[in-house]
Amino acid sequence: MADQRLTASLDLMRRMPPDDIESSLTGLIDLYPDGCEELLSSVDQPLKVQVDPESGKEYLLCDYNRDGDSYRSPWTNKYFPEPEEECAVPSPEHRSLEEHANAVFDVYRQLYFEGGVSSVYVFEPPTGGFAMTILIKKVGSGERGLEKGTWDSIHVVHAEEKEGGRYHYKLTSTIMLSMLFGPVNLCGSLTRQVESSPAHPVTSPHQHMINIGSMVEDLEISLRATLEVVYFRNVKNQIDSIRMVGSVAEARATRERQRNMIGGLMSQ
C-alpha cells in the first residue's frame, strides 16, 4: 500500500506545473507525511541559493548536500546553519575530486551562462564507486521583454569502476526552465539519461572531469534544443494557428503563389 501511495504521489508530481513544484510538494507531503523523505529525494525542485558565511560565496541547496535542516557548502566543506550533531562529509579522496570539479564547472558556468551559481557535490553511493551532483542556476531579467527567467540544471553522475581502471558513467540530467513575459508564463522541464564507458583507464581526477564534463556538455545542449522545440516552438505554432501573423492580403498572395507553383509543376 505504501509503495502504491508513493508511486501515485510521484506520478501526480510529474503532472504539476514546474513553477509550482515547491508548493505542490509541500501540499502532497501534508497529505502523505510517511513519504516525506522519499518524495524529497525523488522530486527535483528549483534550486535555492545560500551564502557560505565563512567564504562569502554562494552555493546551491539540494537533497545531496542536506543533513537535517543544514546544508554543506562545497567551498568550506562545512554545514550551515551549524548542526547540533556531526554530519557526513566526503572522504579525502572524494573531497579532492569535489574541489577540482567545482573549479571546472565554475568555468563552464561562466562560459555557457555568463553568470549564475554552480555547485558540485561528491559522495559515495551504497553500490560503490562515487556519485557526483552538478548544479547550475541562472536567473535573468530585463532582456527582450523578459520579466524573469530561471534555468535550473541538475546533473547526477554515478561512476562505477570496472576492470583495468576503466569507469562506467551513468548521467541523469534534469533541466527546469521558467520564463515570465508579463501575464504569460512559459515553463517546462525535461529529464534524460545517458551512459558512457570510455576505453581508456582513469588515473587522475582530471581524467574524470574530462569524461564527465563532455557528457554534461553534450546532454545539456541536447536538452536545451529539445526544450526550444517541444515547448516554445509548439507555443508559437499554436498561436499562429489561432491568429495569422501577417495580413489577409499577404496570406492570399502566398496561397496564389503556391497554386501557381503547383500548377507549373503539374504542367511540365
Could you report the per-residue pLDDT of 126-147, keeping only the tens digit for each? 888 999 999 999 998 766 667 7
Q: Mean pLDDT, to the nearest integer, of 59-63?
A: 94
Whether the predicted pLDDT of 268 surpasses 70: no
> pLDDT tens-digit profile of 13-52?
767 766 677 777 788 788 788 777 777 766 777 899 999 9
Please, what is the average pLDDT of the chain? 85
Q: Is 254 or 225 the better-scoring residue by pLDDT?
A: 225
Residue 107, pLDDT score: 95
**What is the share, in percent, of the chain residues with pLDDT greater than 90?**
46
Residue reference for cell 570539479: 101
Q: Which of 99-103, 146-150, 162-166, 261-265 has the lowest mean pLDDT?
A: 261-265
Query: What is the structure's pLDDT at 234?
Result: 63
In this predicted structure, what is the pLDDT of residue 137? Answer: 96
Mean pLDDT confidence for 63-81: 93
Residue 245: its pLDDT value, please?
Answer: 59
Give the least confident one: 81-85, 192-196, 240-244.
Answer: 240-244
Residue 6 pLDDT class (50, 70, 90 cuts): confident
Q: Would you place residue 214 in the very low, low, confident or very high pLDDT band (cuts 50, 70, 90)?
A: very high
Q: What is the pLDDT of residue 98?
A: 96
- For the segment 93-97, the average pLDDT, to the nearest whole number, is 94
- Between 261 and 50, the more confident residue is 50
At 125, list the grid cell: 553511493
* Residue 15 vs residue 75, higher pLDDT: 75
* pLDDT for res 149: 84
SS3 of the chain = CHHHHHHHHHHHHCCCCHHHHHHHHHHHHHHCHHHHHHHHHHCCCCCEEEECCCCCCEEEECHHHEECCEEECCCCCCEECCCCCCCCCCCHHHHHHHHHHHHHHHHHHHHHHCCCEEEEEEECCCCCCEEEEEEEEEEECCCCCCCEEEEEEEEEEEEEECHHHCEEEEEEEEEEEEEEECCEEEEEEEEEEEEECCCCCCCCHHHHHHHHHHHHHHHHHHHHHHHHHHHHHHHHHHHHHHCCCCCHHHHHHHHHHHHHHHHHHHHC
